[in-house]
A and B are shown apart, each in its own frame.
Chain A
Amino acid sequence: MVILRLSYWQIVKKDELSAQAQDQYTSKEIIEGSRGTIITADNFPLVVNQAVYSLGAYMPSVVDSPTSIVEQILPHLEFSIDDVSIATDEAKLKIALEEIKANTKSTMLERLGKSGYSVLARSLSVKEKDAIEALGIKGLTFDQSFARHYPEASMSAQLTGFVGRDDLGKSTGYFGLEGFYDRELSSRSRIEKQDVDAGGNPLLTGDFQLLPGREGRSLKLHIERGTQFVVEEALKEGITHYGAKSGEVIVMDPETGGILAMASWPSYDPSKFHLYDASLYKNPAVANTYEPGSTFKVLIMAAALNEGVVTENDQCEICHEPFQIGKYQINTWDGEYMANATPADILVNSNNVGMVWAQRRLGGEKMLEYIKKFGFGQKTGIDLQEEVASTLRSRWGEIDYATSSFGQGIAVTTIQMLSAVGALANQGVLMEPHLVQSVIGETEVPIPPKSRGQVISPDTAKRITELMIQSAGQGEAKWAAAKGYEIAGKTGTAQVAVEGHYDKDKTTASFVGFAPAKNPKFVMIVKLSEPGTSQWASETAAPLWFSLARKLLIRYNIPPDKNIN
């Protein structure tokens, strides 16, 4: 009988018992790696990982009464109200906070009444955790995890994106850089299987299996912290000052395509993204299209100059009156008609009829070829997840070519417009705009600047720059120009299409340009949607552009030249 019983345990139950024994002396540890951080070009963190804690209670170890525990814990918890209308009203805030405290108290008491383990509070900060831990209440436990933290707490939310959970509960980056570089930023868990003694200490002579993990790689941006801050502050002030519905500013190095600053408003708080409307998640500078208006004129004029169909001394033969195309009439924005206008006059006065003249000399097909070469109708390749390619119409009529020459009837994204003008500032070479300059893992892997081709010749780039200098210095926005600096730029006021027709009062005001004009340090676009104080870009976007340019030029140690007025 004994032999039979021993045989049963030794032979029949061998595998099962071996497995049970193995479980007892084998420890399996899963070590979560941390997600990579995002740092600026000057090595300041834009996104970091912050420790948060879940407060739990293991009832068999609890000694104090539930009421006593809750009374001790509550004063150390920090409560906040996200609803701005309540948070800014002292009386309402007090009531709301009392309500939250009462709810928290009753929830905790209920959970402390259960047996086993219960979670009492989540997402506690280090300060809250330390304060509660110092109370020395028996039976309480703290589970640590890491959440994304945005120390600059700024308008760059639409740049960074956010980290949420996918369908399987795994941390995943959505939108912006978090979305585009999710694979790089994500970590891989390290799994260690090791024989341990009864005290849980590893047995160095025992079995050891390792599945190596990987820490998330970090991203180093072209973005400069100071420039980003200056741009964000200026945009915020500009939107308030000009009563605009929304706004965007992008600053780019034309030589490399590196984005030095990028801000948009309205925005959201990426650490509380779930409280905001999902429409705010997408970066409008790359995900929304608009009609660029007169800023587009510099591109078509550059194409005409490059093809040699227009020269600086040519005079417009059709500029003395409105121009008729079929049933449509092309007018100037101010009703003023200047006979024999030169290309410089056309850009200085933002003359629509003059642009139709240049476009007709260029030809429709050729113009479309240049529009595509400047990168319209396709994605720029910027490293943001939600970028869209504005689609160009499939069938073009005479009127479509004409209106497109002055930026109406064609849809572009803000980044496309900036990138195209960047080519004018970069000797005619179109660069791929990029936010990340290197990915840092075990080694730092740089992302080199990428050219998208020579759109116009370096000589044409110089010539169009001269015309843009005149446009910025003598055009409608000359009153706002930065004294002492040579700036190449162009305003654009485009009416907004609403339900199939253009709304007279709603405009998109923008200004795009680069400085210093002859040796550009940056190319910048300012775009304001539906400004309230004036519908004209020369009175809204342009002064904001110039005031920002002044700050940036000083920041880049470029002093004003006394010889330039």
Chain B
Amino acid sequence: MKLIKLLFIIITGLVITNVTLTNRTVDESVVVSKLNQDIATLQNENTILKAQVAEAGSLDKLTLKLAEAGFVETTQIVSVNTTSSVASR
């Protein structure tokens, strides 16, 4: 009889533990689902941003902006004399 009681208590305890843990994991699954969505959104935004940065920094666009800003192409080479001191008094 004692053994039956003991088994009943153990089984009841295990069932309660199982239900509690399952309940917790279900709560966690909501968090996991949210995290998965966040990851997908961030990856998506990264891809979109990469394309936008590439577009904005393309040489076609930069050349136009440089020309508008007044920069001109030069074929002259300017050499800097590195032997002289830059901090002479």
List the interface of chain A (C-beta within 8 A of B): 34, 44-45, 48-51, 126, 144, 146, 149, 151-154, 197, 199-205, 225-226, 229, 550-551, 554, 559-560
Let me know if B60 is at the binding interface, CB within 8 A. Answer: yes
Please, which residue of chain A has its CB at the minimum distance from the CB of B63? Answer: A229
B55 CB contacts on chain A under 8 angstroms: 149, 151
| B60 near A153: Cβ-Cβ < 8 Å | yes
B29 touches A197 (CB 8 A): yes
Of all chain A residues, which has the CB nearest B56? A151
Out of A44, A153, A199, name the residue touching B57 (CB < 8 Å): A44
- Contacts A152-B58, A152-B60; A200 near B51 (Cβ below 8 A): no
CA distance A118 to B44 in the complex (A): 25
Whether B59 and A152, one on each chain, are in contact in the complex, defined by CB atoms closer than 8 angstroms, is: yes
Instruction: Give residues of chain B (35-66) contacting chain A, Cβ–Cβ below 8 Å.
Output: 36, 44, 47-48, 50-52, 54-55, 57-60, 63
Contact across chains for A205 and B22 when beta carbons are under 8 A apart? yes
B87 contacts partner chain A, Cβ-Cβ < 8 Å: no
Q: Are the C-beta atoms of A559 and B79 separated by less than 8 Å? A: yes
Whose C-beta in chain A lies nearest to the C-beta of B51?
A: A50
B75 within 8 A of A: yes
Q: Which residues of B contact A48 (CB under 8 A)?
A: 50-51, 54
Given contacts A202-B29, A204-B25, contact A51 B60 (CB under 8 A): no
Shortest Cβ distance from residue B49 to the other chain A in the assembled complex, whole angstroms:
10
- In whole angstroms, how far apart are the Cα atoms of A431 and B38 in the complex? 48
User: Would you call B32 an interface residue if the criterion is a C-beta within 8 Å of the partner chain's C-beta atoms?
Assistant: yes
A202, B32: Cα distance in complex, Å? 8
Q: Are A151 and B58 in contact (CB under 8 A)?
A: yes
Minimum Cβ distance to chain A for residue B33 (Å): 4
Contact A51 B48 (CB under 8 A): yes
Given A146-B47, A201-B30, A203-B29, decide whether A153 and B75 contact each other with a Cβ distance below 8 A: no
Q: List 28 A-B contacts (CB under 8 A).
A: A45-B54, A48-B50, A49-B50, A50-B48, A51-B44, A51-B47, A51-B48, A126-B48, A144-B44, A149-B51, A149-B54, A151-B55, A152-B58, A153-B60, A197-B29, A199-B30, A200-B33, A201-B30, A201-B32, A202-B33, A203-B29, A204-B28, A204-B29, A205-B22, A205-B25, A554-B75, A554-B77, A560-B77
User: With A and B bound together, what is the CA distance between A225 and B59 in angstroms?
Assistant: 8
**Beta-carbon contact of B29 and A34 below 8 Å:** no
Distance between Cα atoms of A310 and B89 in the complex (Å): 65
- With A201-B30, A205-B22 given, is the CB distance from A45 to B59 under 8 Å? no
Q: Which residues of B contact A149 (CB under 8 A)?
A: 51, 54-55
B26 interfacial contact with A, CB 8 Å: yes
Interface residue tally on B, bucketed by range: 20 to 34
In this complex, what residue of B is CB-closest to A559?
Answer: B77
A203 and B58: CB pair below 8 A? no
Q: How many angstroms from the CA of A330 to the CA of B15 in the assembled complex?
A: 103
Chain B residues whose C-beta falls within 8 Å of the C-beta of A226 in the assembled complex: 59
Q: Return chain B residues, CB-CB under 8 Å to A153.
A: 58, 60
Residue in B22, B33, B47, B50 whose beta carbon sits within 8 Å of that of A201 in the complex: B33
Q: Chain B contacts of A554 at CB under 8 A?
A: 75, 77
**The 8 nearest A-B residue pairs measured at CB:** A151-B54, A50-B51, A45-B54, A151-B58, A229-B59, A201-B33, A204-B25, A201-B29
Q: Nearest-CB distance from B88 to chain A (Å)?
A: 26
CB-CB < 8 A to B50: which residues of A?
45, 48-49
Q: A154 and B60 in contact (CB under 8 A), knowing A146-B47, A149-B51?
A: yes
The CA of A154 and the CA of B54, in the complex, are separated in Å by: 14
Asked if A51 and B51 make an inter-chain contact with CB atoms under 8 angstroms apart, the answer reads yes
Q: A51-B47, A226-B59 known; 11 other A-B pairs, CB under 8 Å?
A: A48-B51, A49-B47, A50-B48, A149-B55, A152-B60, A197-B26, A202-B33, A203-B26, A550-B75, A554-B75, A560-B77
B54 to chain A, nearest CB (A): 4
List the B residue with the shortest CB-CB distance to A557. B77
**A151 and B51 in contact, given A201-B30, A202-B29, A554-B77 (Cβ under 8 angstroms):** yes
What is the CB-to-nearest-CB distance from A268 to chain B, in angstroms, rounded to a whole number?
A: 16
Distance A226 CA – B48 CA, assembled complex (angstroms): 24
- B57-88 contacts to A, CB under 8 A, are 57-60, 63, 75, 77, 79
Q: Tell me, rounded to whole Å, the shortest Cβ–Cβ distance linking A19 to chain B.
A: 24
Which chain A residues border B60 with CB–CB below 8 Å? 152-154
Distance A551 CA – B59 CA, assembled complex (angstroms): 16
Name the residue among B26, B28, B29, B63 with the largest chain A CB count within 10 angstroms.
Answer: B29
Chain B residues within an 8 Å CB radius of A126: 48, 52
Residue of B58, B60, B63, B79 with highest tally of chain A CB at under 10 A: B58
Chain B residues with CB below 8 A from A559, complex form:
77, 79
Give the CA-CA distance A202 to B27 in the complex, in Å.
10
> A199–B37 Cα gap in the complex (Å)?
14
B25 proximity list for chain A (CB < 8 A): 203-205
- Give Cα A135–Cα B79 distance, bound, in whole angstroms: 58
Nearest Cβ distance between residue A30 and chain B, in whole angstroms? 13
CA distance A226 to B57 in the complex (A): 12
What's the least CB distance linking A326 to chain B, in Å?
Answer: 52
Nearest residue, chain A, Cβ from B31: A201
Note all chain B residues with C-beta closer than 8 A to A199: 30
**B89 CB, nearest partner CB in chain A, Å:** 32
A311 to B58, CA, bound (A): 51
Given contacts A44-B57, A550-B75, contact A34 B33 (CB under 8 A): no
